[in-house]
Amino acid sequence: MTEKSLLTGKTEPVIVTKIGAKYVAYSHTICAYSAFFVALGVACYTHYYKIVQNEYFGYPDEWFPSVSATTGDRYPARALFQILIALTSGPRFALVFLWYLYITKSAKTSSKGFGLFLLTVGIVRTVACGGWVYITSTDDHLTHDIAMVLYLLCTLPWQLGVLYSSSKENETAVKWRKLLTSAFFTTLPPMIYFFIQHKVQKIPGAYTTYAFFEWSLIIYDVAFDAVSAIEFQNFEFSVADKTGNSSTQQSSVPFTSNVESSISPSTMRALTSFAGFASETYLAFVFWSMLTSLTLLIWYFPLWYMGISGFEAFLLITLLPIILGIAPLRRLFARYRGVFHLISLVGVASYLKADPIWRLSMTAFGIGISLCTWTATWIESNQHTGNLERSAIIWILGLILTNVVKMAWFTENPIWPIMHKENGGLNDIGIFLGVIASVEVLIRDSTSRRSGETGNFVSSIQKTKQFGSSLLASSGFGAVLFALHSMFTDSSTIMRWTVDGYPNYGPEPVPWGVATIAALSLGLLIAPYRRFTTSFGWYLIGSGACAIFYIYSAWTAFYGGLVMGTYFISITPAMIRGISTQPTFKTMLYSFMIYNLLCLAHVWVVAYEFVPGGVYARERTDVILFTLMCLTGLGVLNANRQAMQDVQKKMAQFHVLRSARAMARIFVAGLFALSALVASNRVSNAKTPVPYTTTEKSFTAAIWTIHFALDNDMWASEHRMRDAIRDLELDVVGLLESDTMRIIMGNRDWAQSIAEELGYYVDFGPSSMKHTWGCLMLSKFPIIKSEHHLLPSPVGELACAIHATLDVYGQPVDFIVSHNGQDENYEDRIQQTTELARIMRTSPNPFVFLGYVVTQPRQEIYHLLFDQGDISDIDPTDWDRWCEYIGYRGLRRVAYARISHGGITDTEIQSGKFQLVDNPKDFWKASYDRIHESQVTPALRYPSMFYGQGVRGHRYHVFNEPRYFLN
């Protein structure tokens, strides 16, 4: 195109770029909705309880935030909203000007004067939007409200004017305009009504209803302007470049209306690759979620039977991949993996069944199908190492994603069958995302087959010479799968396996769980370098790290665990490559039998009292770790030879491999950044420990056996535990049967949520490496020091105890939390109680005992504990006790209460109230003069909500009320 210059009189080239106006409407809609709903999601995640709180009510009366609370009250939601709404301003102003040109020049549906009026209204309305966005109600309430009212006032002439000037020939656009305008202005009266109900009548929940109407206005408002895209389908504007410096006389941008798509093939491949990676990574996350939940569900049954239940046989579902020895069946799984991933979601949907047996059965079916699908994909991909490595990388990414998600959910997994809506589960969302991911895989594989591409597998295993040893390859893969499952399916597991007493406690799960995720990510990044990862030198480093992890404790052991995590992740693709080239039936049989035997040994080292032959496995984690590294070494030996052969044959030189490695780096960076965001959010939101009652220098202590945080109906119980602890206002609580950092308990550090949400210091007690069922202490008072004891247990199960010194209002007070052995081994209990008595007797400080000793009052072990321990029973007249006891000395005993378990476990809560005294020696031995509650200061009374029927199943029982004492 050319044009005659007015200055030179010469004809000069003009470069014209045509721009489709509809894309301005698209970009405005995307930016606007992103601004509001990204802010909503981030605000709910970071400050949910704060943004639903108003001047009168908070959660649960108010449970949905208003627009202003979401977008203007809290960082980082406020900042994200303001940035995104700033990006919206460009398309917004462009849309206003384009509408003026459209109605006055193109469609000619309006006079120039009316068009200028509507243009002015649109500009004022846009600027007013900036007023209430960037001047929040916290900054200047009056200015914020004036800008908001001006925005709403301008909306009426804007929407009516646009509707009036719309082209009547475009019936679809007119219909949507009318509908959205009607919806917008119909919403205003009820919104105002509920605002008055809240502001004037002060009705609980009214503001939440108002918020829904307010958010609907946003949806209608943005959607109204989005309709412009319909009218702008054939409306373009041009940008002319008169310099003529372009090499072409005419160009078009990606959003020109006459060039519908200018996305390059490479860009399209990248987008497709990203979508495929994301889908399969989520399905890998589903796999790890089901695998880790299977053993957790199995554990519920022997927990209640107190021995072998028969349901342990469900672990053998992991042997299902042996059916892949049938070649047509294996190819069916690999060819239609999307379908089988979809079927495997039955395991996630098992939460819909309340019956624990149903949940276990459905989960076992789901993990069986998922295992077959993944292993079939690997086997059928073995001739195309690029695809095989891609699948292995994705499988590991699913594990890392599991760690990140569990960190966000306080080490629970939101799609586990022990989760549901009431305790923080997102099972329905998990199923929905799983369906989308499965369908994406199905469509992509189908498209690849139709286009004649290689796809994600080839079926030529029988055509090539198999390399290596089936037994060696199986040993390595089974060992690595056990290592990943037992130690690296939660970012805090290696910390809890090596925790020590204060002050050398070791790293806290938050923020140091990020370091675990970083170590796993590093292992994934170096995994493609198989000549290095399968070398003898790297194996020695991994073995040395394992030794450090076992021998040392706290920080030193944690460092060893990090190196060990990097090592096991780095060799995983090589182990997968190893099993993919071997005869399927025996390789799958050997691999998963080794995995199962290691899992059973991992359980038997602590459950030796309840299994046949358990005495030979008692406390032999050292043997398990030694065996683990030996089996891993066999797999590495096989993988090293195979890696050398692959390099010689140049089998790894595929474009898909390079693409997979690049995509892995992107995903690793994203997951690491997400974990850091989760950790920083948890740190910032964690409550500072403060005693419930500070005026009387008193505290409330309790002991509770919580059955591994699984309630009587097999749901995760920490939310219900949290509510009971909060309502009883417990300052120090000992929780028994608390060690859930094992395969059979799901590697869950459930105490994190209670500690952060209520504000407690945590002493995890003897580490998981110490082979006890666990005792844990939560304290509102700083922990000066603590010792973790393994009490004498020559015959029966190992008993644990925490002896801690707390800073109680400036006074050192000692506490013991202990869990002695069962009644089958009387001599053990005698020795354990003798040791507890020695610890208490030799302490110079005021003392509180919170323990589980398995005896009736006034029997030998009872006298051994209280008489030789130089402590007093909180209430010797209570004859209805069997295992839980509270003792004390050097303190004023105020009250004693027994509270029912509420279905959370099978054991009640026992609690005592105590008060510091100026002369502890005068209170070394107790008197037992009881008084009425009315004679006690209100601040020292137990909560009244637990009288009668109580709350949530918790009530005062046995005495049906607390007992109060003079001293």
Cβ count near 697 (within 10 Å): 17
Structure-token pair, residue 609: 């009292």
Tell me phi and psi for residue 453, to 5 degrees: -75, 165
DSSP 241-287: ETT--SSSSEEE-TT-TT------HHHHHHHHHHHHHHHHHHHHHHH
418 contact partners, CB below 8 Å, separation of at least 6: 293, 296, 297, 351, 412, 710, 714, 715, 716, 746
Neighbours of 175 (CB within 10 A): 12
330 with 338: CB under 8 angstroms? no
Comparing CA positions, the residue from 436, 411, 409 lying closest to residue 424 is: 409
Which element (helix H / strand E) includes 791? Answer: strand 783-791
Which listed residue (819, 863, 901, 932) is catalytic? 819
Backbone angles phi, psi at 613, to 5 degrees: 70, 15
Report the run of H or E that residue 161 belongs to, with start and end. helix 141-165
Q: Quick one: DSSP state of residue 105?
A: I
Among residues 466, 520, 568, 528, the alpha carbon closest in space to that of 656 is found at 528
**The one-letter amino acid at 102:** Y
> What count of other Cβ atoms lies within 10 Å of the Cβ of residue 896?
21
Residue in the structure block whose two tokens are 């006459």:
258
- Beta strand pairing status for 698-705 and 909-915? antiparallel
**672's tokens:** 């690491």
Residue 855, classed as helix, strand or coil, is coil
Encoded tokens for 963: 């007992």
If you ran DSSP here, which 8-state letter would residue 491 be given? T
Cα distances from 720 to residues 83, 704, 715, 753, in angstroms, run 39, 13, 10, 11
Q: How far apart are CA 395 and CA 575, in angstroms?
A: 13
Contacts of 10-15 with C-beta under 8 Å, sequence gap 24+, read 12/242, 12/244, 13/244, 13/249, 14/240, 14/241, 14/242, 14/244, 15/240, 15/241, 15/242, 15/243, 15/244, 15/245, 15/246, 15/248, 15/249, 15/250, 15/251
Would residue 954 show up in a list of annotated catalytic residues for this protein? Answer: no
* 143 contacts 135 by C-beta, under 8 angstroms: yes
* Residue whose structure tokens are 């704060």: 50
Q: Which amino acid is at 687?
A: K
Q: Is there a contact between 512 and 559 (Cβ–Cβ < 8 Å)?
A: no
For residue 869, report the phi and psi dihedrals to the nearest 5 degrees.
Answer: -80, -5
Backbone angles phi, psi at 631, to 5 degrees: -65, -40
Instruction: Report the 10 Å Cβ neighbour count for 758.
Output: 18
Token pair belonging to 901: 């378990």
Alpha-carbon distance of 52 to 63, in angstroms, equals 6
How far is it, in rounded angstroms, from Cα 402 to Cα 910?
37
In contact, 967 and 926? CB cutoff 8 Å: yes
Return the amino acid letter for 111: S
* Radius of gyration for the chain, computed over Cα atoms and rounded to the nearest angstrom: 33
Query: Which run of H or E residues covers position 624?
Result: helix 621-648
Give φ, ψ of 357 to 5 degrees: -65, -40
Q: Which residues are catalytic?
A: 819
